[in-house]
Amino acid sequence: MALSSGNWSIAGLTATGKTGKIHENIVVYQRKKIVNLKLTMASGQWPSGGVKMPAAGAIGLVRNVDGYILMHVPAATTSARVWVLSTGLKLGPQKSILASGLGQTLQAATGTLAEKTFLVTAYGW
């Protein structure tokens, strides 16, 4: 199964399960809403372009998400070493490769990954 933004389970950081308590984890600071979240992605096939992060309404914001800050990310796999949050708010596994004459670069990794839980901070309004 190819994963998509509909595969996120969204919970507030203080929730004991995979859902609930979003509004208890929202603060307003300098005219921005800041939400501390626990996002769990189902296991499945990660597309090479990454998976879009949840939209504003799904995480307790009203208008837009300005960005996400990854606070804790699980280990990827041996073939996908790091997680990268790219333009368009897409999260995907990346692997480091040795490009000729360029040193180490990142390249999108694909493959089936187990369920992953990410602790993130989202900000916007």
Q: Is residue 44 part of a domain?
A: yes
Whether 25 maps to a domain, the answer reads yes
Please give the chain's pLDDT, 125 residues, in tens: 577 777 889 999 999 888 889 889 899 999 899 999 998 888 777 777 778 888 899 999 999 999 888 877 666 554 555 666 766 788 877 766 655 555 555 566 666 777 788 888 999 99
Name residue, tokens 């897409």: 90
Instruction: Please give the residue range of the domain that contains residue 67.
Output: 5-76+110-124
Q: Give a yes or no: residue 15 inside a domain.
A: yes
Q: Residue 50 belongs to what H/E stretch?
A: none
Residue 72 falls within a domain, yes or no? Answer: yes
Residue 118 lies in a domain: yes
pLDDT at 69: 85
Tell me the C-alpha distance between 42 and 28, whole Å. Answer: 30
Structural tokens at position 11: 């919970």
Q: Per the structure, how many domains does the chain have?
A: 1
Q: Which of 90, 32, 38 is nearest to 62 (CA)?
A: 32
In a domain, 31, yes or no: yes
DSSP state of 30: T
**Residue 89 falls inside a structural domain:** no
Asked if 92 and 83 count as a contact pair (C-beta separation under 8 A), the reply is yes
The runs of H, that is alpha helices, within 10-73 are none
Q: Is residue 40 part of a domain?
A: yes
Q: What angle do CA 67, 123, 83 make, to 5 degrees?
A: 40
Note whether 59 and 51 are within 8 A (CB). no
Evaluate if pTM is beyond 0.95: no
